[in-house]
């Protein structure tokens, strides 16, 4: 269940010794969400929050619009001789 909210990265899932909770087996499916949330908030380097985790644990909207890129036109060269565009 926890794998829906967090992604385990940089290591193979298995036992990892943590400073806060001692040995935790990340290959198990029944880890407590609050324990993992605490580890994540204390900068545990092997947990990444998923989009579902952002929405469920922190109430963040998963659909965030990126600003549109504005196209700036290139400068138009004007001929010095006859005033026409080249």
Q: Rounded to 5, what percent of the chain is helix, strand, coil?
A: 25, 20, 60
Task: Quick: pLDDT tens for 11-64.
Answer: 999 999 999 999 999 999 999 999 999 999 999 999 999 988 988 898 876 555
When divided into structural domains, the chain yields a total of 1
More confident residue, 82 or 21: 21
pTM of the shown model: 0.68
Structural domain span for residue 58: 1-86
CA dist 36 and 2 (Å) reads 8
More confident residue, 20 or 75: 20
CA dist 60 and 45 (Å) reads 22
């Amino acid at each position: 269940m926890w794998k829906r909210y967090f992604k385990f990265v940089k290591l193979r899932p298995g036992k990892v010794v943590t400073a806060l909770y001692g040995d935790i087996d990340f290959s198990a499916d029944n880890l407590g969400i609050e324990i993992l949330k605490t580890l994540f908030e204390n900068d545990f380097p092997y947990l990444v929050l998923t989009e579902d985790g952002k929405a469920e644990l922190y109430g963040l909207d998963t659909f965030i619009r990126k600003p549109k890129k504005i196209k700036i036109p290139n400068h138009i060269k004007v001929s010095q001789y006859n005033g026409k565009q080249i």
